[in-house]
Structure 1
Amino acid sequence: MDSAESTRHVFADTLAAFDATPPAPPLTTSEVADVVDCSRRTAYNRLEQLVEDELLETKKVGASGRVWWRSRPTTASQPTADLAHGSYESVVSDVFGTADVGVFLLDDDFDVVWINDSIERYFGLDSAAIVGRDKRQLIRETIGDVVAEPDDFAETVIATYDDNTYAEEFECRITAGNGRNERWLEHRSKPIETGEYAGGRVELYYDITAQKASERALREREHQFRSLVQTVDEYAIFMLDPDGRVVTWNEGAERIKGYSRKDAIDKHVSTFYTKTDRAENVPVRNLATAARDGFVEVEGWRVRKDGTRFWAKVSISAIRDDDGTLQGYAKVTQDMTDRRKHERQLRRERDLVENLFDVSPTGLMVFDTDGDLQRLNSRAKDILGLSHGEHYAASEVDLVGPDGQPLSFEERPLARTLTTGEAVTNQVVREAEATDGDRRWFSISTRPIRDDDNTLKQVVVCTDEITELKEQARQLEQQRDSLQHELDEVFARVDDAFYALDDEYRFTYVNDRAEELLGQPEAELYGQNVWEVLDVADDDPLRKQFETALATQESQIFERFSEPLGIWETVRIYPSESGLSVYFRDITERKEDEQEIVALNRLNTIVRDITDAVIDQSTREEIERVVCDALAEADVYKFAWIANVNPTTNSVYSRIEAGVDGYIGDVSISVDSDDPHGQGPAGRAIHTHEVQVTRDAFDDSAFEPWRDLAREYGYRSSAAIPIVYEGTLYGIIGVYSARKGAFHDGEREALGQLGEVVGHAIAALERKQALMTDTVVELEFRIPGFVEGAAPKSDADGTITLNQTVPIGDGIYLQYGTVTDDAVSTLEALVDELPFWDDVTITEQAVGDATFELRLTEPPVVSELASRGGRVKHPRIGDGDLEMTVYLPHSVDVHRITDVLEDVYPETELVTRHSVVQTDDTAKRVAEAFADDLTNRQRAVVEAAYHAGFFEWPRQSSGEEVADSLNIAGPTFHQHLRLAQQKLLGELVASATASVGE
């Protein structure tokens, strides 16, 4: 006997439940389970296996039931006989060898006799290493390690070995690892009572992983469903047992029926019916119908706990198990009281509509979507002249429009609504032919009627005869046309805006110009009260003027600013007994021009006074104080300030304020154009070097960050004026006005000139201070690879020396120097490559060296040094590198100069920095004279002439050539040169005389 012996009895017992003599009656799963004394699920699994082995047949019955039977006769050669007589090893091997059922076969010492492939797969065991081993030891040493709860597992299984007299069933979970998957198994074991292994035990392990997942999902769904049912309060949902008693109760049932769950459980369903229904046995009949048909749905009165009634819609479903046995009922009740009341109300309203339809004084007709008349009321019959039962076809009636042209059926209201689905309102038509006397006029309206899915269902047509109204309207139009013609002749000669009012200030006439200014056509204004249109306050002087004119019958003429219209106007009011005639003319442009002229004249005076005042100041602080005070004291402005830019924080900081205390400390202004605080007038002026304004702080979106400050400090407009000279920004002037719309074009231009004057004054002062200062900062810079970086295709041989730079205005400079013969090509290449080197002229070519004149436009380094009072000592380009020495006043920010150089030439190196003392007093005095006594033009002429070789012998450049370089006439050049020479020689002679005297 082999290891399949013990399993044989399991299937033999199951198969024995069927009568051996066919045809045997089919059995249900429950009947088989009762016979073999096992669970219904165990019986079902065994029956399925026997069907697969073709020992049984099965079929489904009902919704979820199934029956089983034997279809073949039982003989000694059948597997059952084999199972009964012990020769079933091949059957066990065939059935269990590769089946999804794991098998342990144990002898009477509970050693492992045989295991199948499923056991190896489930527990991760090897048959060769397992067979022959003690199962107790195997559980403790091997199997226990793969079971989720090893102690409970070992205790339960080993207990069957200690008392091998009973069958055992339980579930266990196998953990994943070492090639095995996590799974749930059902353990079923029983003692082997006969055969070779009698006293042993057979253990079966069924893989129920999918079943467990299904059960878990089912429990979750059941939990969700029960939670849903429990929380739904719109419906009473509860279960009844087969006798009709309540077994579950949700919140909806409690709300609708008034019974708590405690009160409702075990009550018979008839409790909720009326006495009449109970007397007529309605509850029992409903349950019987549901049991018979599976479902019943009824409506009727039900009773709450407090005795009140409600109209309910009830559905009852019978619940049966797999075998069709009635388990109870599911009942759903919905409170339909409000809906029933609503339906009854709808019926009453429908009856009302029917009555209104019949008695309406307006002709009413209803057409279907084909245009056929479905019904009409008596008034419609009268209008159409139809007798009882007479046919009417809308398409057969001839109608014309107001213009007398025939209307096709497609142009009429009914056809338009049938085609477009849209309503038509008051389309006026006329009979094409008179039915009796004059042709009649009709007003026709239509309305579409749609069903629930918005599909056109019917069209209602309303019609009224308006013949009399049309005649009255015609007469009124004739009278109006006649009056209008007379008025047009009178008012055609009036150029001003004009309107007429009656004695209650209502519009009776408005001409075209008045329509334009008031912003409404005469048709809309006619009959309106003038104060509703103009929307002026009760205490507005205009009301007083109108009232005075009407009361005194005296004309009123005046000028005013109209807030509602936003214009200046001249108003002339002429009274009459019937009302007022009002003429008004827009004089806004004239008034604004007058105001701008007055403001500009005042501003020009202020600018001239400031210009005169700054010339006499000896420090920058004094200049800024004069400017701020003068602007703040002007009656057109409230206050002013001057601020500088802090490059480290990208913000501005205050230098001077006038007319205000602490404003610049309260306000946040950024230099970052992406920051909202950098998009106001000051931020824009810093970037553009142009005057920037806000003409209305309450309306300009860019001024939003400072709107609250505008209210707090009482200004309406502001301007930011850059203090700029030769491209250098020295600061920002902020000016504020209480005027809305201040800082027009002329005013901005004057303020821009003020910024230039202040910038020029500060630059001149700093330049003068630089020339008069004994101690200066000396900076030595080196730019390695200058030629390679600026003009990479040129050679780096030779030397280029830059001797002097002469500004000639508008950002243009002339630079003079010398160049060795082998560096001429490098110089020309630099002119081609550097954006601010315009052109070069070789003024003298000799062996070895040549002189040249270089024209520059807005060179950043030269411009910055010139504006700061600095100078460069003979920059030199040699071996491809640029070396230069820069002298700056101590007041100048050295980092600013260094930053400018590094922005243009990133390879710049600061070699040395130290202070030096200027000791030549004569040179100083001549320099002072050069700076103070000479005009800008005179200085430019002297420097250009000197470095162009005008004073050499023989001359390298003529006066006319130098004049052309300076873009001035020859006589002008010579005049400036003579005056400059006179001033400089005078100072030189005076210095020499003073030295001799010492």
Structure 2
Amino acid sequence: MRDQLARTVLEKSPDPVVVVDDDGRVTYANRAAATTLDSDPDSLRGTTAPDLFDGWPDPDTLARSAREEASLPLTIRRSGERVTLSCSLHTFDDDGSSVAAFLEEHGPLRVENVVDALDDVFYVLDADRNFREWNARFADITGYGDDEIAEMDPLEFVPPEDRDAAAAAIETTLSEETVETLRSALVTKSGERIPYEFNAAPLVDDGRVVGLVGTGRDVSERRKARLALRESERRRATLLSNLPGMVYRCRNEPGWPMSFVSEGCRDLTGYESERIERGEVSWGRDVVHPDDRDTIWEAVQDALADGDRFELTYRILTADGETRWVWEQGREMAGAETGEPDLAGFITDVTEQREAERRLRQEKDRFRSLVQGVDEYAIFMLDPDGYVVSWNEGAERIKGYEREEILDEHFSTFYTDDDVAASVPEENLADAAERGKAEDEGWRVRKDGSRFWANVVITALRDDDGRLRGYAKVTRDMTEHRERERRLAQQRDELATLNRINELVRRVIRSLVAAASREEIETAVCERLADSNLYRFAWVGERDLSGDVTVRSKAGDDGGFHELVSDAAGEEWERPAVTALRTDECQVVQDIPNESDHPDDLADAAGERGIRSGLAVPLTYGATTYGVLVVYATRTDAFSEREAAGFDVLGETVGFAINAIERERLLAADSVLELEFRVSDPDWLLVDLSARGDCTLVLDGTVPTSEGEILHYVRVSGVDPERVADFAEDVSTVTDVGVVTDRNGDGLVSITVSTSLVTAVLDAGASVRSARAQAGEGKLVVEAPRDVDVRTLAGSLDDAFVGVELLAKRERERPVQTAGEFREELASGLTARQRATLQAAFLAGYFDWPRASTAEEVADSMDISSATFHQHLRKAQRKLASAFFDDSAR
């Protein structure tokens, strides 16, 4: 009977109980024990205790512990996790052959411990964008209660100006299953905006997105101060503001006699405040629920004894018998009348919150398993010594280990060898244990040995007594984010350098305007470049008769490196400056000390002098190359593609400036060099057309068009001008042809061409004095400055048209004529009537725009007919135009 009674008691007990014999075999296990061990009572009978429990003692220790009714720590494996048990041992029969083990399970460290322990906010939204779960930090930071959060839209927690971006991020996460990051502000209940970085990842169940899981991290570093301030304000507002509820003052006596009750009492209890103040209704006896009266009294007295405020949640009965939950906060105050201490506080209805909390707990239980499946974050637990005790799908995806492989392994497995040698893992745990949380970024190692850049947060988990239970570790793969930030920083640096270079090039170009000679241009360019902190040395050179390059101007200090380059050049290696002149293309060497094409001794010399990269750009205008600009820099890869393009523009601008100086010198010179060339290239229009027409062609003049082409006026003799025009229409470079005059086999033809030998002459800094061709043989006479490099000029023409041969070279003096002599010469070419007509038209404003007088009005003033006026005026204008154009615009 007694055994039957004991068995019945054990079966009904909610505590797990296992009975073993002296051989350690299980002879009995109740239902609670079977549940704890994830089995059934029948299956447990006959098994051995050491197989069920880690830490089961040997027989002697077991017997001694049972006699002393001692407690032992045991652990078991359940669902892949370790569970800690406390085991109380008792002798079950008189001879001590059976021992009863009473088991008590310690709460395992689970994902919910991790989530609630996080210093970040954590939340889960369903597919309809409703809050389904959040951690305690979320409520603490925002100031909202759980019931309020459950009814709110997520966009209410970000500023209005960021809500479109937040909505788009949520939609993208739910629809495209991507991880989204948003930097905004977390808006609290009080309206405060706290800078936060939010990250969201899709929440997948059975292959279907059912919501998203998000985290938010305070990036303001002022969170603690704000939290403390907000908590202080919240408590003050609880006592002083007119929130739904009631403010009271009462004596500290059983029944809580009230001396003051606010108007909120009616809505809270259904009683008028006056009835409670007069004592008709006792708060302690009539309002407080009978089951909570003693508990409330003891809690208040204990708090007052410790000098603390009291904070309570309990039930009340309203006037119509309804049970409600209320939250009360109060403190002791000096009595106004009796001098005895009174109590003052605030009471509010929290019935809905309690119900909401109950519903939320159910929802959290349902979503807990889904959180475990998040794969964008590695969320797992460590024991106090740093060994892994739990593992989620995100950890498996990021780190590559399956649960069975990594459980019970030390978390230093994820660190690099250098970090392990430097005790970084131990320091991270120590920091977390000391400060509550440790955050770190650095390289971590996957199972396959590959590395990834990780952001790691380790949070210490402690029980109510402050004992360390373990650590929550959250890892996020930041490799792509870090690489993206690195590329952006590099692009910003390159753009800043490019802006400085472009500004330098603009300053160099502006300095060319003031230069009066080629030497001044070259010196200004070199000095501007060398004086900047972007380049070390710059020089300008030109090709000599041997084909090598000689220095014309230089600035900066390269330790004589350019001379070493000149000495090293030969048949086996062509220096970049020569290559630039030969190809008319910019040449760049980005790393001279390590350049395999350079001689070894030259590369070593560059490294010793701190020269890392170089550039050579030709100085060209049209088809003429005036030299080469060479620049050295102390930076490796100093000349990017865009930077080299800027130097191309500089080279063309310097070439243009040199050409302009040479042409100006030619126009102002008292004496010039006259060069005569024979031209047999049929690509020259005059040679081609004279051969096909067996005629003589003379270039009367050329005029540039607005489209960049050249209009030629060609005098024809020996053939019908119409035939020459027909021949010209077949030439690919001719864009327009017209017959100006045709007089019995002679005449004038206008021909517009896209390329011309005249252009090559002008680009070389010379001018055309005369050009003619007869039956396929051409003669060209040009004028150039006396100190012109004839070889270079002839080479430029030969590059443009083959078969250009220099026949003669001679100096020619230009007559010096004063302005008065020039005017007198012009006047002598006009008749008296022509001069009078021209002067009358000028003085009457005929040449103004708009005209002050018409031709008829001027003719009337001279008492001549309009036709006579036009005849005299046109002859005078032609004589003046002939004096200006006949000798210079060919």
TM-score, reference length from structure 2: 0.40
- Larger of the two Rg values belongs to structure: 1
TM-score, reference length from structure 1: 0.36
Q: Using CA pairs under 8 Å that are at least 6 residues apart, name the structure with larger relative contact order, 1 or 2.
A: 2
